[in-house]
Amino acid sequence: MEDSFEAYGERLASRLMVGTAAYPSPAVLADAVDASEAAVVTVGLRRTLASGGDNGFLAGLLARLTARGVRLLPNTAGCRTAAEAVSLARMTRELYGTHWVKLEVVGDEYTLQPDPWQLLEAAETLVGEGFAVFPYATDDLLLCQRLFDAGCQVLMPWGAPIGSGQGLLNPWALATLRARLPQAVLVLDAGLGSPAHAAQAMELGFDAVLLNSAIAHAGDPVGMARAFARVVAGARAGYLAGVMAPQPMAVASTPVCGQPLLVG
């Protein structure tokens, strides 16, 4: 049975979302995105503008993806204030023809941690303007609650600082988010380094994962994209099947008491 999920009223067939930055070549990027079978692909407008505008290849790739039903998720990466992020979001809506936006407002240059106050301010403004906002946040429960109350149906808490590959540094906080925000769509975003990290997020009950560096910086990005696709689907199936509760001590899987013995 297909295990799709819904974001802002749209059904998404894959629970893996991928980025488009830092790949070794355009050809590898295209093949990796195809191998990931991602339902959502992010693209940074600032990066596009910094490179002198769309170079034709990215436009062709995005056109191919949208024709296949893949959703584009422009982001506001690089913004430092709410006003800056709102302005860039408005530009992405005009240039990419979508009201979906991944909202990023960074407050610390070392950790690239989101600024909670600026993030919430920008989210409130964009929701009021009809945007479907995907806010990149920390795993702070109160911040995520405020964002959800502001109209952000999808929340994207980090697992670790972006690009660090450290995995889920605070599984307890992430599990708390899942338990306290059952109506929110939770996407684990940032800090994943391996498919095992993605599996851990899915087994916590997260709806999806978004990653870029773990694939783009892999020795074989295409192979890694395929691995993430399989692991995310498998871990989600395991979560739905019901992962056994850990035990404080050994429990025999084949009890011998009361069982016939075969003696040869």
Closest by CA position to 6, among listed 201, 153, 174 = 153
Task: Inform me whether the pLDDT recorded for 255 exceeds 80.
Answer: no
pLDDT for res 134: 98
Task: Inform me whether the pLDDT recorded for 118 exceeds 60.
Answer: yes
pLDDT for res 4: 77
Higher pLDDT, 249 or 126: 126
Average pLDDT over residues 205-217: 96
pLDDT for res 1: 46
User: By the 8 A CB rule, do 198 and 192 touch?
Assistant: yes
Higher pLDDT, 262 or 101: 101
Task: Inform me whether the pLDDT recorded for 160 exceeds 70.
Answer: yes
Average pLDDT over residues 240-252: 88
Q: What is the CA radius of gyration of the chain?
A: 20
DSSP state at residue 257:
T
Task: Inform me whether the pLDDT recorded for 249 exceeds 70.
Answer: yes
Q: Is 190 within any annotated ligand binding site?
A: yes
Compute the distance between CA of residue 120 and CA of residue 85 in angstroms, rounded to an integer: 11
Task: Give all strands (DSSP E) within the chain, no chain letters.
Answer: 5-7, 10-12, 16-18, 40-44, 71-75, 100-103, 132-137, 154-157, 185-189, 208-211
Q: What is the mean pLDDT of the chain?
A: 91
pLDDT for res 2: 57
pLDDT for res 225: 97
Q: Catalytic amino acids? A: 102
Task: Inform me whether the pLDDT recorded for 198 exceeds 90.
Answer: yes
DSSP state at residue 110:
T
Task: Inform me whether the pLDDT recorded for 21 exceeds 80.
Answer: yes
- pLDDT confidence tier of residue 258, bands split at 50, 70 and 90: low
Task: Inform me whether the pLDDT recorded for 144 exceeds 90.
Answer: yes
Q: Is 205 within any annotated ligand binding site?
A: no
Q: Is 191 within any annotated ligand binding site?
A: yes
Q: Is 258 within any annotated ligand binding site?
A: no
Average pLDDT over residues 204-231: 97
- pLDDT confidence tier of residue 52, bands split at 50, 70 and 90: low
- pLDDT confidence tier of residue 38, bands split at 50, 70 and 90: very high
For 5-241, which CATH class?
alpha beta
Average pLDDT over residues 100-121: 95
Average pLDDT over residues 171-183: 97
Compute the distance between CA of residue 243 and CA of residue 147 in angstroms, rounded to an integer: 30
Higher pLDDT, 262 or 162: 162
Average pLDDT over residues 191-215: 96
**Quick one: tokens of 6?**
């819904």
> What are 2-18's pLDDT values in tens digits?
577 899 999 998 999 99
What percentage of the chain reaches a pLDDT higher than 70?
Answer: 91
Kindly report the number of other CB atoms within 10 A of residue 22's CB atom: 14
